[in-house]
Structure 1
Amino acid sequence: MDMLTISNLSLSFRGLQVLTDVSFEVNQGELFAIIGPNGAGKTSILNSISGFYRPNKGHVYLEGLDISRHPPYRRAELGLGRTFQNIALYHGMSVLDNIKLGAHVHLRTGLLSSLFYWGRSHREEMTLRKEIEEDVIDFLEIEAIRKLPVGSLPYGLQKRVELARALAMRPKILLMDEPVAGMNAEETEDMARFILDIKEERNITIVLIEHDMKVIMDISDRVLVLNFGQKLAEGSAEEVQRHPEVIKAYLGENKAHDGDLSTTAG
């Protein structure tokens, strides 16, 4: 069974068609990339999967379960984690507290116990903190900054903290929207390494949007190409970067015959 199945997804806003009958499947443990020119509908796909947008037509299946009408918090409980193109952290809070917020979707303590912070509530909070400190923080090599306010950190580390928060959700599928956007070469290399480690060491399925074509070609198992909200091509990185329609979408008709994306992009 596929980990994630998108079936005939269509989305429009006030008559503007954003996605048109988009379908694809993502296998367990796969790193599946979605690429396309600006405005192709890439982020709209992630927003539809995670429940921020409700498509006009189509279905989203997680391990065979139709989650198309589930609210975002329920999808998170079922195993969907998410990072954002624009960093969505609480800048006045510490790194550790930001990461802990990701795991709160799994806490089961009742309201009364939480208010008094004793018994089960306290034990659950301590277990959560221990898990995050020993697992997520060590894994992403951010022990030295765990007590610092997020707002004091450079951009690259903030992106890593956001990734840590998503991992604290214990996702089965991790949706990543441009994880290396705005990073320098060293930060990009570090983030690409962490993404591969998440896939290989934790067996987490990843759906990734990214404009850095070198990163896409280096780490992806399969690639879906969107253009004007429609599926243009799908296959291995090697296959799609030489696909005539993909080259045309990125470079324009006049330059499409000059080469492939591997020699002209990122």
Structure 2
Amino acid sequence: MALLEVRNVTLHFRGLTALADVRFSVEQGSIHAIIGPNGAGKTSMLNCVSGVYRPQRGAILLDGKDVSGLAPSARTRLGVARTFQNIALFKGMTVLDNLLIGRHVHQRTDVLMGGLYWGPGQREEIAERRRVEEVIDFLEIQHVRHQTVGTLAYGLQKRVELARALALEPKLLLLDEPMAGMNAEEKEDMARFILDVNEERGTTVLMIEHDMGVVMDLSHRITVLNFGERIADGTPDEVRAEPAVQAAYLGEPTTSAWGKA
């Protein structure tokens, strides 16, 4: 059963076509990767799914509901969360405060009741902190919960951004190059956490990633874009064997870049 359906999405920026009639579906409970050379339209596609961009043609369905006309905040309330290629955290705030901000869509206490701390406001804050602490434990960042985000190493900041997205309790988690700029050890940790998010929490993941070894190891299905068009869609083995994909990446059919000898 598809959690996300992208139906013939076309996106123009004046004279430039960023996406041309792109279609694919993401199955409930899967890890689905979007790959392609630089400028292929991958982040534009993620921005269409999250609501940052509104395509000129086509439709985006979440759980069977057309969300094409909804703002990003409305899609967040429906269960869409994302991380960014360039870290988008509040660098001057602590890890804990960044995650609590991620709980904003679940808060029900209004301004008046929130001001009465000894009542609904207190109970809600305790419940929100409990959920945030669960995410902190899950991603093993207990030791930095009270540190200012801007003082953390890059790999930890990427993990905190993932934690903030998970604090939203998403149905669909959008990851834009979650391992960009990481060393081998940090990539290994992030790959493990993405698997755990999918397998233990049951979260559906739509991911952009340039590390082909990681993509082939983690993904259940892969969509390949090139110059804004879909050129392949299938399992890792199917995509690896597709001549059009090999040509787009390497200029010739070969399997040496796909994580296998």
TM-score (norm 2): 0.97
In structure 2, do the counterparts of structure 1 residues 259 and 130 end up closer, same or farther at CA, with 3 Å as the change threshold? closer
Structure 1 unmatched runs, 5+: none
Partner amino acid for 2:245? V
User: Secondary structure at 2:161's aligned position in 1?
Assistant: helix
Residues in 1 aligned to 2:82 and 2:7: alpha-carbon distance in whole angstroms: 20
In structure 2, do the counterparts of structure 1 residues 240 and 175 end up closer, same or farther at CA, with 3 Å as the change threshold? same
Matches within 5 A, 1:124-163: 124-133=124-133, 135-163=134-162
Moved >6 Å (runs of 4+) = none
Matches within 5 A, 1:10-159: 10-133=10-133, 135-159=134-158
**Alignment match, 2:257:** 261
Deviations 1:199-256 (CA, angstroms, capped at 9, x unpaired): 000110000000000100111000000000000001111111121010100112xxx1
2:20 corresponds to 1:2: no
Residues in 2 aligned to 1:183 and 1:43: alpha-carbon distance in whole angstroms: 19
Residues in 2 aligned to 1:210 and 1:242: alpha-carbon distance in whole angstroms: 19
**Alignment match, 1:171:** 170
Shift, 1:258, TM fit: 4.5
User: Secondary structure at 1:26's aligned position in 2?
Assistant: strand
Compute the RMSD of aligned alpha carbons. 1.4
Deviations 1:82-118 (CA, angstroms, capped at 9, x unpaired): 0100000001000000011111111111122234544
Residues in 1 aligned to 2:116 and 2:21: alpha-carbon distance in whole angstroms: 50
Residues in 1 aligned to 2:213 and 2:254: alpha-carbon distance in whole angstroms: 19
Q: How many residues align?
A: 261
Deviations 1:152-205 (CA, angstroms, capped at 9, x unpaired): 000000000000000000000100000000000000000000000000001100
Partner amino acid for 2:29? G
The answer (yes or no) to whether the contact 2:240–2:255 under 8 Å persists in 1 is: no
The answer (yes or no) to whether the contact 1:241–1:261 under 8 Å persists in 2 is: no
Structure 2 unmatched runs, 5+: none
Which segment drifts farther, 190-199 or 120-129? Answer: 120-129
Shift, 1:15, TM fit: 1.6
